[in-house]
């Protein structure tokens, strides 16, 4: 029976390269997939493209290809990832230039375009597509029209399959859904199509894709249950999924000392941000996460059976990014004696300043007591100062949203107005408040699938 | 009436999509699963989080892995790209839920 092993080696932009290199050297895989995009990341990339139209992709694509392409050629695996972000064509050009420099003649770079429909919104609205906001129900897209940074659809594996058919060695997409980077290779290898009798098998591919899509989050990273027991957490290795043509899988990892795979490490990721587990909606199909059976099948091996799925939805999920003001954060620490009382005084000073200064009109503001409620919010009560008289230290974190950059910058510069009143004043000499950040909000909506035709641009290194 | 804290009978992991926070609450045993399935209701979760969760809460059972999937709307101050919380994606929210106490009978 045919089995195809896919490794997964990045959970986000900022993830580390070395586990991928280790997998390339030590494991037998046919594909290596990566996920670099989240909602925050897409906003950052659109912001990057706004500043410079030649950017907007994940810059790591160059050093990662530099390390992995020669290994991929030697060991015989292909790369599939969404690191094209908001500019897959520019990303593809960067990889082609690198491959030329490395002398990888004949290398085929498959670039997938079509997920970005920023310049077609008006045309689509004229046809009667409304783009209602899924969170709020609002249909008044004109309200954000002048502030739009970009619009993209979460696309499936259709064009990944096409790129592989055309012989791509590395497939570079934009907002390919996380699991599509694995579903594509499996559908291509097994000859599955978007019709009966394949929906259960595509459901299995989506389920497996979901389990490994955050890389080490299913090999002992981000654990609630076993975080104390994971071997060599600092040297964690990435997951590999061996799916067979019957739709049954083994989840395992690079054979190396770091990390762990068992039913707990897999289960913790199976439940991760899935909404209704019976209907995990992806562009390639709908997986049902209430049917899979997990069992330990040897050291660092979990067998997954009874996975299932349903036909893919007629609509694709869309994110429309738009500018929504500026965010400024500041932090200050206060020491014993009266640490908490000082922090409370600082909050008082802050609010008085804002009340009396016409130059400041925050749209919203969040004040957290670091060490008490910054992470768990209103679930935790901040004590009265008299109840913690000997508290060694406490921090105050303030984050405010402003309409203009000038206002946010003024708020940052005049920070000593609310902090500089006590002799134990912590003059932070290593980390000044960072510059204001532009907020790009997301308008989540749906678009009919047929409105988002994707295609492959194949670039061969001569 | 005896009570137990969720931290003693379950594990949890949370993630985000927009302004929605999802918590996977995984029982440490079959027995604990039956208990959390009965007691950790959407009303109770909504009440527990107070003004942190402004929208509705749905709870879905996953009998195959002894877990509940808890979906909380308007729970991340607008979502990671625009909110003001330091943990915009709400990863620590799952651990906050483990403070909840439920009756054992």
Selecting from A270, A401, A440 the residue whose C-beta is nearest the C-beta of B84 gives A401
* CA gap B35, B28 in Å, rounded: 11
**Mean pLDDT on A51-71:** 96
Phi, psi of B40 (to 5 degrees): -90, 85
pLDDT of residue B54: 95
A-chain CB neighbours of B61 within 8 Å are: 290
* CA gap A133, A139 in Å, rounded: 6
Full residue range of the structural domain in which residue B24 is found:
3-103
pLDDT of residue A44: 84
Would you write out chain B's pLDDT as a tens digit for each of its 105 residues?
A: 899 999 999 999 999 998 999 999 999 999 999 999 999 999 999 999 999 999 999 999 999 999 999 999 999 998 888 899 999 999 999 999 999 999 998
DSSP state letter for A389: T
Phi, psi of A54 (to 5 degrees): -90, 0
- ipTM for the predicted complex: 0.97
Residues B12-28 as b or e (16 or more Cβ within 10 Å = b): bbbbbbbbbbbbbbbbe
Both tokens of A352, joined, read: 């008085």
Residue A40 has pLDDT above 80, yes or no: no
A-chain CB neighbours of B96 within 8 Å are: 375-377, 379-380
Task: Name the packing angle between helices A199-212 and A180-190 (round to 10°).
Answer: 140
Instruction: Compute the count of residue pairs across chains A and B with CB atoms less than 8 Å apart.
Output: 145
Both tokens of A441, joined, read: 């909000």
Selecting from A40, A135, A294 the residue whose C-beta is nearest the C-beta of B19 gives A135
Domain ranges of chain A: 3-115+154-313, 321-441
According to DSSP, the residues that pair with A395 across neighbouring strands are A333, A370
* CA gap A286, A263 in Å, rounded: 23
A-chain CB neighbours of B93 within 8 Å are: 376
- Shortest alpha-carbon distance between residue B22 and chain A (Å): 5
Put simply, the answer to whether A368 touches B14 (Cβ < 8 Å) is no
A-chain CB neighbours of B46 within 8 Å are: none
pLDDT of residue A424: 87
pLDDT digits (tens, 9 = 90+) for A137-195: 899 999 998 998 889 999 999 999 999 999 999 999 999 999 999 999 999 999 999 99
> Among residues 175-194 of chain A, which lie with CB inside 8 Å of chain B?
none
Nearest chain B residue to A307 by CA distance is B64
Q: How many domains does chain B have?
A: 1
Nearest chain A residue to B89 by CA distance is A40
What's the length of chain B? Answer: 105
A-chain CB neighbours of B18 within 8 Å are: 39, 134-135, 442, 444
Residue A432 has pLDDT above 80, yes or no: no
Put simply, the answer to whether B96 touches A268 (Cβ < 8 Å) is no
Put simply, the answer to whether B82 touches A441 (Cβ < 8 Å) is yes
Put simply, the answer to whether B85 touches A397 (Cβ < 8 Å) is no
According to DSSP, the residues that pair with A458 across neighbouring strands are A110
**Angstrom distances, CA of residue A238 to CA of A193, A205, A221, A260, A300:** 29, 18, 10, 10, 12
What band does A103 get if pLDDT is binned at 50, 70 and 90?
A: very high
pLDDT of residue A440: 85
> Among residues 268-307 of chain A, which lie with CB inside 8 Å of chain B?
268-278, 289-294
Put simply, the answer to whether A375 touches B96 (Cβ < 8 Å) is yes
Both tokens of A124, joined, read: 């689509």
- Shortest alpha-carbon distance between residue B55 and chain A (Å): 10
């Amino acid at each position: 029976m045919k089995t195809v092993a896919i490794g997964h080696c990045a959970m986000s932009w900022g993830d580390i390269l070395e586990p991928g290199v280790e997998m390339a050297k030590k494991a037998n895989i046919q594909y290596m997939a990566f996920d670099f995009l989240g909602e925050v990341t897409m906003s950052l990339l659109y912001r990057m493209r706004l500043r410079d139209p030649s950017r907007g992709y994940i810059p790591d694509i160059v050093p990662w290809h530099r390390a992995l392409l020669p290994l991929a050629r030697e060991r015989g695996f292909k790369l599939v990832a969404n690191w094209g972000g908001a500019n897959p064509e520019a990303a593809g050009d960067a990889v082609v230039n690198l491959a030329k420099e490395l002398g990888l003649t004949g290398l085929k770079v498959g670039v997938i375009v079509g997920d970005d429909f920023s310049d077609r919104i008006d045309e689509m609205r004229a046809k009667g597509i409304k783009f209602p906001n899924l969170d709020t129900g609002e249909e008044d897209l004109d309200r954000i029209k002048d502030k739009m940074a970009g619009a993209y659809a979460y696309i499936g594996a259709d064009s990944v399959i096409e790129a592989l058919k055309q012989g791509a060695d590395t497939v570079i997409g934009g907002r390919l859904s996380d699991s599509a980077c694995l579903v594509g290779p499996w559908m291509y290898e097994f000859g599955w199509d978007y019709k009966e009798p394949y929906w259960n098998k595509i459901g299995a591919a989506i389920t497996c894709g979901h389990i490994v899509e955050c890389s080490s989050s299913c090999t002992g990273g981000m654990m609630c249950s076993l975080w104390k027991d994971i071997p060599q957490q600092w040297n964690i290795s990435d997951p590999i999924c061996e799916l067979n043509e019957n739709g049954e899988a083994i989840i395992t990892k690079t054979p190396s000392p770091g990390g762990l795979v068992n039913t707990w490490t897999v289960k913790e990721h199976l439940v991760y941000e899935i909404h209704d587990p019976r209907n995990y909606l992806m562009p390639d199909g709908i997986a049902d996460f209430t049917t899979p059976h997990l069992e330990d099948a040897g050291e660092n091996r979990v067998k997954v059976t009874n996975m299932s799925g349903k036909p893919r939805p007629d609509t694709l999920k869309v994110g429309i990014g738009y500018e929504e003001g500026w965010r400024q954060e500041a932090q200050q620490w206060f020491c014993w004696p009266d640490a908490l009382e000082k922090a409370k005084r600082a909050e008082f000073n802050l609010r008085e300043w804002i009340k009396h200064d016409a130059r400041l009109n925050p749209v919203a503001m969040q004040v957290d007591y670091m060490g008490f409620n910054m992470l768990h919010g209103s679930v935790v009560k901040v004590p009265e100062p008299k109840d913690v008289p000997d508290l060694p230290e406490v921090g105050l974190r303030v984050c405010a949203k402003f309409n203009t950059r000038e206002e946010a910058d003024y708020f940052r510069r005049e920070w000593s107005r609310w902090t500089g009143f006590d002799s134990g004043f912590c003059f932070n000499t290593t980390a000044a408040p960072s510059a204001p950040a532009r907020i790009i909000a997301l308008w989540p909506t749906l678009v009919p699938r047929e409105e988002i035709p994707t295609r492959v641009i194949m670039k061969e290194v001569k | 009436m005896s009570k137990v804290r969720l931290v003693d009978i379950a594990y949890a992991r949370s993630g985000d999509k927009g302004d929605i926070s999802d918590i996977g609450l995984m029982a440490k045993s079959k027995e604990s699963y039956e208990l959390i399935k009965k007691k950790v209701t959407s009303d109770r979760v909504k009440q527990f989080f107070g003004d942190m969760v402004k929208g509705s809460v749905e709870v879905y059972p996953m009998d195959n892995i002894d877990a509940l999937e808890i979906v909380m709307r308007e729970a991340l101050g607008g979502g990671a790209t625009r909110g003001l919380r330091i943990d915009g994606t709400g990863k620590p929210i799952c651990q906050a839920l483990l403070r909840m106490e439920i009756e054992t009978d």
